[in-house]
Amino acid sequence: MKGVVYIIEVILIDVDDTLFDYQKAEKHAIFSSLRYFNVEGNFIDIQKKYNEINKKLWADLENRKIEKEVLKYKRFEYLSIECNLDYNPIEFSDYYLTKLGEGTFLIDGSEEVCEYLNQKYKLVIVTNGVKEVQISRINNSKIRNYISEIVISDEIGISKPDYKIFEYALNKVNYTGSKDRVIMIGDSLTADIQGGINYGIKTCWVNLFDKENNINIKPTYEVNNLYDLKDILWWYRVKII
């Protein structure tokens, strides 16, 4: 009997800067919010400062130094102080998250690759994002029908790189096979790749922006575009003659 057995059975995959263009979504959300609250100033400079603040706070979240509910508004409180902006940080945050949820901008190849992966593997999204934002973006995107399950840290109270979020994801799809048949794919070395390493599964770093890996976190694989995922996974199959 001829056929093919795929050794990889479950693919855990990140969302932002892996499948979705987070930069476009963020720019849409921050510019829309600044206009809505009649903020004056150079929007590009404000966005750059926001990116600095936001990046630091998300790193603090990964290191369990801040709670996500606090992070949501604290970044805009810091931004208002740094840039001398006049708005209510909580109200600004609520509006920003609504607009961010509209950001269904896909990275080139996302739809095609997800369709391909869905035909051969269980495809599970594992994200550290905010629940209402990620659900809105994923459900309104062209890739939703290719996703088996969605695991959001905000919903279960566990964030990458904690290995328990990967354990939770596999339980959610009733996977009882070997961890050797699971791979984590994502853009963050400290969250996705380190998390996969912590759980003892294969990892693939999606390095779309040619970032230098200058930390001691070594992914199993690295790709610079989503199409290369097909080539990597192609090797993990056995032909039956």
pTM over 0.85? The answer is: yes
Residue 89's closest CA among 71, 102, 101? 71
CA distance 129 to 154: 7
DSSP 143-184: TGGG-SEEEEHHHHT--TT-THHHHHHHHHTT--S-GGGEEE
Q: Which of 14, 21, 162, 187 is labelled catalytic?
A: 14
Structure tokens at 215: 């930390």
- The string of pLDDT tens digits covering residues 158-202 is 999 999 999 999 999 999 999 999 999 999 999 999 999 999 999
How high is the pLDDT of residue 232?
Answer: 86
What's the chain's Rg over C-alpha atoms?
19
- The string of pLDDT tens digits covering residues 111-165 is 999 999 999 999 999 999 899 999 999 999 999 999 999 999 989 999 999 999 9
Residue 16's closest CA among 98, 124, 115, 125? 125
The residues, any chain, with a CB within 8 Å of residue 168's CB and separated by 6 or more, are 151, 156, 158
Using 50, 70 and 90 to split pLDDT, how confident is the model at 4? low
Is 210 assigned a catalytic role?
no
Strand 221-223 and strand 237-240: the pairing is unpaired
End-to-end CA distance of the chain: 6
- The string of pLDDT tens digits covering residues 44-96 is 999 999 999 999 999 998 888 998 889 999 999 999 999 999 999 999 999 99
How high is the pLDDT of residue 237?
Answer: 57
Sequence letter at residue 174:
N
Q: What are phi and psi of 55, to 5 degrees?
A: -60, -45
